[in-house]
Each structure stands twice: as C-alpha cells, then as structure tokens.
Structure 1
C-alpha cells in the first residue's frame, strides 16, 4: 500500500479517479477567497519581463496592489534583487462583533545582469507595474597595443 500526502485542492493522478475530485476542486476554486480568479502574493510569485537594449536593461515586474513602500531593490555584483513584503491588517466592526484578518506575504526575485552599472539606476511604480532601468557598464577595451622602444 502506497500512501502520499495530497495538498488541499490538488487533483489526484491515480487510477481510481472517478471525476468527483474534479467537481470538488471546482467547488473549492469557486468559494476560494480569490474569486474571481486573481493572482495573490501569498500563493504565487510576481512575474518579470527583462529587455536587453544596447545601453541598458529594462526590467518590468507585475506588482498589483503593492505600495511603493513595500518594495526593496538592490544591485550587488550584477545581481538585481526585487523584494516585496506586504503586511495587511483588515478590521471590520459590525453589530456586536469584531472581525480581524492579518496577512503577511514576502517574495524575492533575483536577476543576474552581468554588465550592470550601479550608477543612475531608475525605478518607477505605475499602475501595478514596477519598471527598473539599469544602465550597462561601459566596457573598457581589453586589448592594448604595446609600443616597442
């Protein structure tokens, strides 16, 4: 007998699948907190796009619902790190009860940019999209002509 842990709301891939599991998963998805389907920082990582131009790199990160103060950016030895830490507290007071929810999510993405310059990096957050412009370092000529005396 083989036993396995099956995460909540995951389809089982065994020979005894009767189709009822699909129905249960559909119900779980319907009544989940994120309905209609939307991305959550708790269960997903943010997506990034990277463009390599001649003089700079342009990194775009999708961060819907994230405030500028929740984002940390750093560049160390060519590694651009984008970190998001989001702390949400929700409090509702109705009738004779108090309802509180707390959520904390943290994610980090790293992108290696071999010839990134640490000067003049610009970042802008607009409509949930963080755009980071990283200039490329000017490559110094590796070869040198040696004059003979």
Structure 2
C-alpha cells in the first residue's frame, strides 16, 4: 500500500469545483508518515443538533474556549455560534523578547424551523457548550371541509 501514488497528481481540474483540499487529503493518506498532516485552515468546531418533542438541544465542542469569547444569536430561526479569540503572549528574558500574537474566529449557523426566542438556556462545561432552545407551540391550522 505504501507504493500507491495518487492518480494524476498534477491535474488541477478538481480545484475548480471546490475540491482543492481533496488532493491534499489523498496525499496525506498515501504518505509514509504515521503522523497525519492536516491543515486546520478549514477546520471548525463540531456541533450536534438533537430535536425532542418540546425543544432542540445543540451541543458544540469548544475545548479551551472561555464563555467571554462566545457569541450566541438566534435570528429568524437561525442559531449562530461565533468564537473570537485574541491571544497574546509576551515574555522578557535578558536581551531576548518573545512575543506571539494569534487571532482566530470561527462561526457555525444552524437553522431551527420553529425555535422560540424566549427561554433559551446555554451552559459551557468542560469544553462542551450545551444550548437548550424551546420550540414554538404549533397551532392546529387545519380546517375541516364539509362536502356538499
């Protein structure tokens, strides 16, 4: 299996259709390295959405994120979870000054058709953000039709 080479490596047709990382994924799979080489450029946090009879439960994996860095919004049934982090590390030792800066932001949006804007609860615990969103009461909009 180590002798396999991705087919037509120089061909760039797939990149025009949004599959640029597909080639990189194949190259990583067929490499001889045991350590996977991934690019985190397109990675984001993972979310799970569960629908119960009376509410939605949204869970987002956010390890190392503080609640001050999270912005939650519900607008017209669209729940947006955004994270903005600004990390700065400054150390001074003798003549050496070490400074690192890193800014990152990630966002996910999910559509919840009959989400209620009131009564939403969110809790961040051990890197897991859990959001409970109640559903709107569905009114019976059906009408009985009499036959003549």
Paired residue total: 126
In structure 2, what is the Cα distance between the partners aligned to 1:12 and 1:53?
39
Once the two structures are superposed, what CA deviation does each residue of 1:59-112 show, in whole Å capped at 9, x if it has no partner? Answer: 000001111111101111111010011111011222321111111111110111
Q: What are structure 2's unaligned runs of at least 5 residues?
A: 1-9
Q: Runs of 4+ in structure 1 displaced over 4 angstroms?
A: 2-7, 10-13
Partner of 2:75: 76
Quick one: structure 1 residues 115 and 11, their matched pair in 2 at CA, closer, same or farther if it must change by over 3 Å? closer
CA RMSD in angstroms comes to 3.1
In structure 1, what is the Cα distance between the partners aligned to 2:42 and 2:98?
23
Partner of 1:133: 132
Contact 1:92–1:100 (8 Å) recurs in 2:
yes
Once the two structures are superposed, what CA deviation does each residue of 1:15-67 show, in whole Å capped at 9, x if it has no partner? Answer: xxxx8x645x95x95xxxxxxx9xx7x65200001111100000000001111
TM-score normalised to structure 2 length: 0.72
Partner of 1:121: 120
TM-score normalised to structure 1 length: 0.71
SS in 1 for 2:109: strand
- Spell out the pairing of 1:41-52 with structure 2 (5 A cutoff): 44-52=43-51
